Structure 1
Amino acid sequence: VFQSSPELRANLDPSASYGESHGHNTPLHYAAKHGMKHLLRTFLCDLGGNPNKKNAEDESSIHCVCQVGQAKSPSAEERRATCIIMILQWRGPVMQDGEKERAQLNAQDKKGNTALHYASASGLRKCVELLVAQGAGLFIENKDRLTSCDLAVRSTHHDVATYLESCMVFADSSDGINEGELVGTEVETDCDSEVYSGLRAQDLQEAKDQLLVETADMLHIPLFTAEALLRDNEWSKALLLEKWMTNAVHCCEVAGIAPPASALHLVAPTPPMVTPSPPNSVITPPPPPHIPGESMEQDDLARDGENLQCKICYGEMRSWELGEQTGTSCEHQFCATCWESYLTLKIQEGGAHHILCPAVGCNILVDVDFIEKMVSPEMARKYLQFDIQAFVERNKTIKWCPLPGCGRAVKFPEAELETQPFYFPNTKPPPKTSHAVDCGNGHFFCW
């Protein structure tokens, strides 16, 4: 109707309310609600519409564009992402502070929801990423005291929830975003250009997680074991694999972990030949295997229901606590209070990437998941930040941007770093070639 009516195109005010009977919605609200990107572009760019205009529910256009039913098509998600980009790019009249008006990302409606709340509840992953990159509040709670991450979990959009949780962990880091990156602008490069990439905190976490999964699958070991081994081998799969094939058990012992079954299998002796039993003989079943991490004395106490004694504070702890308080592959047990105090102190000291069992003389590492479970949420966030810092500092293929306060890192291909140029014998090798790299925030430095 709009396109076919010259009079309507000339006189329509996209920010004018349709009245109380229509919830004070404007043409902008309806165009955004239905993801009508062509109309939205016309309303914003040609007719001077204001996306910050609110309806009776205090919803702006950016609230409406992020609300969609569960049965959504990929094309609908793309349309709404395009609408988000147009709203983010919108600039209004100059305000008193001299800056042009922009879309209010963190505006809350009467339910306390922001645009990020609705995008998360609707499972609009790309819209969520655009809003977060622009600086949408991750910790804002609605009237039900729920964050956008909580709504994503409640709506079973686990990929969105995982992404938001990762962003929340590193929300305190000063991580700038380029304007082109906010709106999904792709930068074309030549095929011969150097391959490197600027990494944000959440990108580093994803790179680390991917490396852990690949290593765990390759060696058939748990993720915690893979992390400890990689950390001890400069986060290099090639270096770890070489040591693993040489002596897997020694490799684990040096890293401070108990050798897993796959490591023991590499050095296990050939089983002896078993003589068949006579037909009428009675075979006595072997005793049940002892569970690692529990001593025989603890087993007896657990069966009797007696209290156990913490080896740090010498306070009593119930036998049922044993399963909950096991944080290492060794047999040392401590109460929850002592565990929390010890782990918190280690994190505050900055040695979060190498926390050993508190028992005297024990060199076994504490499980990462156990650390996060035992300390406070704030301390767990700090632990993850220290862990990422250690990941970058011990990784030869990643460097921090040297500009103070940037918080970005650059990843360079490992193969490029290991390639040695050819040179003739009895001559000096040519100097290593430096590479000018960009962290993604426009900060160039020499690698």
Structure 2
Amino acid sequence: MKLKTILDLPCGMRFIFSEMEFASSFSGQVLLDSVMNTTPAAIEGSYNELREFLSLYQTIGGSATLDKCRAALLDLRDIRNTLTALESGKVPDDVELFEIKNLAFISEKVRGILAPVNLKSVNFPDLADIVSLLDPEGHGIPSFYIYDSFDSKLSELRKKIRNSGDESGAILAECLIIEARVREMLGNRLKGSVFGLREALMSLAKADILISKSILTKKLNLTIPEIATGINKYSSVFNPEISAILSRENKTFQKVNIELDLNKPTILTGANMGGKSVVLKTLALSQFLFQFGFGVPAASAEITPVEEIHYSPGDLQDMTRGLSSFAAEMKMADRLIKNSAHGHKILALLDEPARTTNPQEGTALVTSLLNILNGRPVFVLVATHYNVKAKGCARIRVKGLEEGKMNYELIEAGESAPPREAVNIALSLGIDREWLDEAIRVMDEQNKE
């Protein structure tokens, strides 16, 4: 799974990406093409790299060093096609030679800036020979020109053209032939350096990404989590996008604590407007951030790597395949059952599954799904209004209204019917009292039956 495939999932990854401060747009493309890590070793490697850059960024001198790198990276461009053409034997034109020279200049500059801090997470090949080859007169500028020093005849021919003013005759033709020969010579010499040029290009993008992740970690107050086995545990987890929106309104996001166990599904209940969907959205975002090597939005966290993340945000209507919300939910649940049966380690976050069918069938579908998943290598959190009585599940709920104010804290819940929070919320909104009193009377009658 690539990062670009989850960018528009309604969990907030696009917000995270938009908050990243890349020096080069190419680095953003590289990040979007990156593949999700699924093993503890790969994730630990990503975090070791981030820790190294973050540690440097958090010092005054280190921050200044990284600022110099970012300034140099502003001119970084995607020249992968140019390098592929060079590798195939194509004679580079002046634009392509400029691109290669510019890359070599940037790489050498960044390599020099970072040399004193001895970073282990990025390695830059020595491209000094390429700089000398493409800048034989040592002007120190990235623009490319076939200098006179490339061929002893060029200076004389160009002088004759300037003196005669003849820019269309035999002298010019001879000059153009020599320039073509120089380009061919440069292409042949550079062809053997394609590996190093590619390494430099990707190392520069990697450095830009790690600097951007470091800035983001500090800006959004993210934390590097511990890699766990069999548990997902968050202390003071928050949703960065919603938190930013609330901050602009002089409000504060209420952080919550939550713990999920592998092999044991968790049921989350609470009234509408109780924050259940936000919890699922935030956990989906946090798992993605974890497995793509970002900091996560929590004071502390212990997270287990998974192979698959199944996030159902509540309305899975798939217009491209003509599926209704119910059909799309059933297809996702079916994949979840089949893949978990084959031992795939999965995080499943399901928001009001089967909510579009009748309550009796919906309750049966959710209960049976949880019964099947219980004991499998799956983290499951299901937010539901149904009174589900599945076996062996943990149960939590949103604490709810307290003195007219919503408390989003997550607390343990028993198997009894949930409190009448929907009515209480409606009362706080000033909804017609006669209607709500009648609703309370109806519920009391139902409870007597």
TM-score (norm 1): 0.21
Q: Identify, as 1 or 2, the structure richer in helix.
A: 2
TM-score (norm 2): 0.21
Q: Identify, as 1 or 2, the structure richer in strand.
A: 2
Considering Cα pairs closer than 8 Å and 6+ residues apart, tell me whether 1 or 2 has the greater RCO. Answer: 2
